[in-house]
Structure 1
Amino acid sequence: MRALACDLGGTNVRFGLGVDGRLDPETVVQFPNERFSDFGTALKHYFGQVRVGRVERAVVALAAPIDGDTICLTNRNWTIARAEIAEIAGTGDVVLINDFVALGAALSRAEALVTRSVLPGAAGRGVKLVLGAGTGFNASALIEGGHVLAAEIGHTGFAPEPGLETALRDHFAGRFGRCSLDRVLSGSGLVALYRVACDRSGRAAALGDAAAVTAEGAAGRDADAVLACGTLSGMLGRTAGDLALTFLPRGGIYLTGGVTGALAPFIQGPDSPFARAFLAKGRMRELMRGFTLDLVMDQSAALVGCLAWPDLPCNTVRGGRAAGPT
């Protein structure tokens, strides 16, 4: 079977083609969403740029809860309609899934992913957990039997530590009425954290986007960027630890997302801000040491998951609709 795979986030969209469930890397293309007025235009552009030909199925992973045939992205003012995808792709077999469900499905082929070790732990069988920060934050778990547990963990509340984190919480709560993990564990959250750090140090904020903050922080050239990157990495580590205690993922924990990857210097190693926060679970510290953590370097992981999803034991595709968690 020839299938179209798509990973649509709040900032970028990736497309690729697969044959019999395997991604062809030569067909993978990424575009910034800001280039297009809507998703349909982006999809048509891909079909025009790559000689797609006929596809029998389209699997589209979206950064949004999946409910029905028309989906609104959480962090971008785009509406995605199953019928429009079917018309452009030329197939009635269109599957819409959450982007972290796709990443959870990709863990069924974890051996094919490009990863970098964060903490060695003791890898074993059992639940596999994936989580990550990008335009927003979310996580999912692949449990034994090939079931992917969908969630909207990013929209749970943020519990800050005193100091800089509390100031960040107050900043977002003042704007939106509450502060969720999705607000803080994200590119916009990192920029806001940097600005809060600058306010507290009495310096003007010289950096305007997450890429600049992570670059200057990793290079050690801006003290407030270093503080912001270290603090957000610690927040991410603490959240990863909370989820590890929730799911007990003895099959491994996988970290993904553009912001997560950019923070790699603050995440890798046993003395990193991320690792210290991950392990700091009091009486459960020794349990935490047993979990294996890897950073996913493969930006096509969600596309791999899109192609793996229909073949998971939990799932049956009928008439373009996916049975099971979405």
Structure 2
Amino acid sequence: MAKSTYIIAGDIGGTNSRFSLHLPGQREHLCMQIYANEKALRDAPDFHHATLKPFLEKCCVEVEQWKSLGGEEAIRSQVQVVACLATAGPVKTNNTVFMTNMGDRGQVIDGNEIEKCQDGLLSVVVRCKLVNDFVGQGYGILDLNLVNECVELVPGSIAKIDHLGPKACVGAGTGLGECFLTKSSLRPELGYECYPSEGGHADFVPRGVLEVQLLEYLKEKFDCDNRVSVERVVSGRGLANVYEFLAQYFPERVDIDVHEQFLNASDQQGRVIGENAEKKGSLTALATEIMLSAYGAEVGNACLKFLPTGGMFVTGGLTPKNIGMIQGKDSLFMKAYLDKGRMNPLLETIPLFAVLTEDVGLRGARVCAEREFNARTQSNGVH
């Protein structure tokens, strides 16, 4: 009997793992779940037992097409799954990734091991392709409604889009990711192809006297002789790093209650700073201002490198959470973005968008899973 094929998309970040189940060719999900990595990984032997297995078990209970088959054994005999996991780290050629931002010691995710695993419902996964999380983000931006799901940071950005031009994406969440997309001018009907980048690990460059002191602090903290990466500042954990520096630099300005919350927040320290960022004159506000200024500067740097006349998209969880401090020509983000000297007029021509939805990576992972499904269909005759 031919098995029915389903698609799983996964957006695997440093803090959360998001999964959705789809029928091939369908954008709407049949089931979706978000797992907090710190909690999920606590007692599990590996990543797929911590997250993917309980997600499949959830599908078994909630998806009508699976429920109608009559139990786990029937599902294992009649269902197969093609999965794509967009993971926050560089993917190796052997379909594995080491996620530096997941847990104190990092986490290995191995697509080959997932395919081989025969433990319960994990056996239905016949293909598990790993891609960089910003490959997922890149394909996901192609699915955006620019009017309803984005904010134009440069006025008139939608009208400025060159539909043959490169696109780029920079997004701060737990870490900082970047990617770019290109379209063949000879075969534009084939659409955009996305390429990963580790631009978030480029050098952090101070833009003022206080940031010079911040750089020296980070070099000592992370035992770096000459440089630290921009991700150490522009990310959720970067926000925590900046506040930690400020608390030592300005001890007389420390809010004892907030600082106590910060010290007890484990890997959610950045969230504590963000939740208290509106307190005028506070160190949490100053930390957020420094982070957003560095964020705008890095987005401007990426625009100079990629010249994304097809659009630069600012994604990641920190973007919608701080949109009030990002948009507007007088925001610290936009001032830093446009602080490029002779290149300012060029940056003003780049279509620039802040993305308000946080499921972009999941959308892109579905696109990549569809590609895997289509490849298997052509080679193996999957139904």
User: Does TM, normalized by the shorter one, top 0.5?
Assistant: yes
Query: Which consecutive residues of structure 2, in runs of 5 or more, have no partner in the other structure?
Result: 67-78, 185-191, 263-268, 378-383
Look up the equivalent residue of 2:273 and give its one-letter code.
V
1:156 pairs, out of 198, 202, 211, with 202
Which residue of structure 2 lines up, in the alignment, with residue 323 of structure 1? none
Deviates more, 1:203-212 or 1:149-158: 203-212
For residues 151 and 316 of structure 1, what CA distance do their matches in structure 2 show? Answer: 26
Q: TM-score, normalised by structure 1?
A: 0.89
Q: In structure 2, do the counterparts of structure 1 residues 89 and 253 end up closer, same or farther at CA, with 3 Å as the change threshold?
A: farther
Q: TM-score, normalised by structure 2?
A: 0.76
For residues 285 and 354 of structure 2, what CA distance do their matches in structure 1 show? Answer: 20
1:181 pairs, out of 207, 230, 233, with 230
For residues 89 and 131 of structure 1, what CA distance do their matches in structure 2 show? Answer: 36
For residues 302 and 327 of structure 2, what CA distance do their matches in structure 1 show? Answer: 18
Give, in angstroms, the shift of residue 282 of structure 1. 1.0
Matched, 1:39 2:54: no
Aligned residues: CA RMSD: 2.4
2:113 pairs, out of 66, 73, 84, with 84
Deviates more, 1:269-278 or 1:44-53: 44-53
Give, in angstroms, the shift of residue 100 of structure 1. 0.3
Show the 5 A alignment for 1:121-160.
Answer: 121=157, 122-125=160-163, 126-145=165-184, 146-160=192-206
Look up the equivalent residue of 2:81 and give its one-letter code.
E
Between the two proteins, what is the percent identity of the paired residues?
29
Larger radius of gyration: 2
For residues 281 and 272 of structure 2, what CA distance do their matches in structure 1 show? Answer: 10
Deviates more, 1:189-198 or 1:236-245: 189-198
Which residue of structure 1 lines up, in the alignment, with residue 243 of structure 2? 194
Which residue of structure 2 lines up, in the alignment, with residue 234 of structure 1? 293
Which residue of structure 1 lines up, in the alignment, with residue 85 of structure 2? 60
Cα deviation per residue 1:12-64 (whole Å; 9 max; x = unaligned)? 10000122343324522211101122412211111122336434310011111
Give, in angstroms, the shift of residue 311 of structure 1. 5.8
Q: In structure 2, do the counterparts of structure 1 residues 221 and 57 end up closer, same or farther at CA, with 3 Å as the change threshold?
A: same
Which residue of structure 1 lines up, in the alignment, with residue 143 of structure 2? 109
For residues 66 and 316 of structure 1, what CA distance do their matches in structure 2 show? Answer: 22
Which residue of structure 2 lines up, in the alignment, with residue 20 of structure 1? 24
Provide the aligned length of Structure 1 versus Structure 2.
317
Give, in angstroms, the shift of residue 222 of structure 1. 5.1
For residues 279 and 152 of structure 2, what CA distance do their matches in structure 1 show? Answer: 23
Deviates more, 1:30-39 or 1:58-67: 30-39
Give, in angstroms, the shift of residue 317 of structure 1. 4.3
Look up the equivalent residue of 1:299 and give its one-letter code.
E
For residues 182 and 61 of structure 1, what CA distance do their matches in structure 2 show? Answer: 19
Other structure's SS at 2:162 match:
coil
Cα contact 1:254–1:293 (8 A) shared by 2:
yes
